[in-house]
Amino acid sequence: MKRDIHDLAMVSPSAWLGEGTRIGAFAIVGDDVELGDRCIVEPYAIIQGPSSFGKENHFYSHSVVGNDPQDLKFAGEKTRLEAGDANQFREFCTVSRGTSLGGGVTRLGNHNLIMSYAHIAHDCRVGSYTILVNAATLGGHVTVEDYAQVGAFCPVHQFCRIGKFAYVAAHTVVTQDVAPFSKVVAPRGTKTYGVNSVGLARAGFSPERIHAIEKAFRLLLHSKLNTTQALVKMRETLAGSEDVTELVRFIETAARGLAK
């Protein structure tokens, strides 16, 4: 099975490509990169070395994998990234090589899904079958064990461990180890503080329309009525406002509840 390298790709003479590997236009495969059989490097993806990958890894456009560690102590020494088979590196994710103080190697196992904008820092140890959701961020020296999931926009402090089969919910800040088999979530403190009056005025809402909406929100947020009672009161006192009618309709069709 031959390799398929686009004429506009840049592949270092020192790179080693397995059989059936495909390299797209404007992709860069740098010095001392080893790609196993049937890897796919999409257009504009960048893979730096020294790094080695098993078979059937997929590097999506604009992923940057095997780049220098983001560590001020790094002085250009030879460090590595090692990954197994069938990992997916989605758009704009970044994976750094190791540092000499951390053993010199960042390691990933097999069948990991690294979603868009996720980051794996230097000297991390990521097992197999893990998922790093969009913009999940692993600090240096973090360990993520097999089958763990790290949710969207979760920063994980350096040297922390995420145990096997653990689930870290979105927007959770991890500063201590997460036990295997556990679910971890940060407090959900989202609140509604009132009407977007400035935005409505800029959009051309008249003072009368804004006033009616503000009355509705006072009933919803600042009266002693529960949501159902507040909706009844809105219908009774503000029936002439199409905006309030739309607000009532929206609240009554909220499948996941309403932030208040």
- Residue of 111, 119, 122, 141 marked catalytic: 122
Q: Would you call 222 a catalytic residue per the annotation?
A: no
Question: How sure is the predictor about 156, in pLDDT bands with cuts at 50, 70 and 90?
Answer: very high
Mean pLDDT of the chain: 94
Residue of 259, 193, 179 lying closest to 227 (CA atoms): 259
pLDDT at 2: 80
pLDDT of 89 above 70: yes
* Residue ranges of domains in the chain: 4-184, 197-252
Q: In Å, what is the CA distance from 127 to each residue of 91, 116, 140, 162, 173?
A: 21, 19, 15, 10, 21
**What letter represents residue 25's amino acid?**
A
What does the DSSP assignment read for 81-113? EEE-SS-EE-TT-EEE---GGGTSEEEE-SS-E
Which residue matches tokens 């080893």? 34
Question: How sure is the predictor about 1, in pLDDT bands with cuts at 50, 70 and 90?
Answer: low
CATH dotted code for 197-252: 1.20.1180.10
pLDDT at 189: 78
Q: What are the φ/ψ torsions at residue 244 (nearest 5 degrees)?
A: -65, -40
Mean pLDDT of 125-139: 98
- Residue of 123, 127, 139, 141 marked catalytic: 123
Read off the pLDDT of residues 228-251 as tens digits, 9 standing for 90 and up.
999 999 999 998 899 999 999 999
CATH 2.160.10.10 is right for the domain spanning 4-184:
yes
pLDDT at 65: 98
Q: Would you call 122 a catalytic residue per the annotation?
A: yes
- Residue of 54, 84, 140, 151 marked catalytic: 140
Read off the pLDDT of residues 187-218 as tens digits, 9 standing for 90 and up.
877 788 889 999 999 999 999 999 999 999 99
192: Cβ contacts below 8 Å, ≥ 6 apart: 217, 221, 259, 260
pLDDT of 161 above 80: yes
Residue of 143, 27, 32, 146 lying closest to 89 (CA atoms): 27
The backbone region for 100, taken as left when phi is positive above 0, alpha when psi lies in -120 to 50, beta otherwise, is alpha
Contact 122, 105 (CB under 8 A): no
Q: Would you call 140 a catalytic residue per the annotation?
A: yes
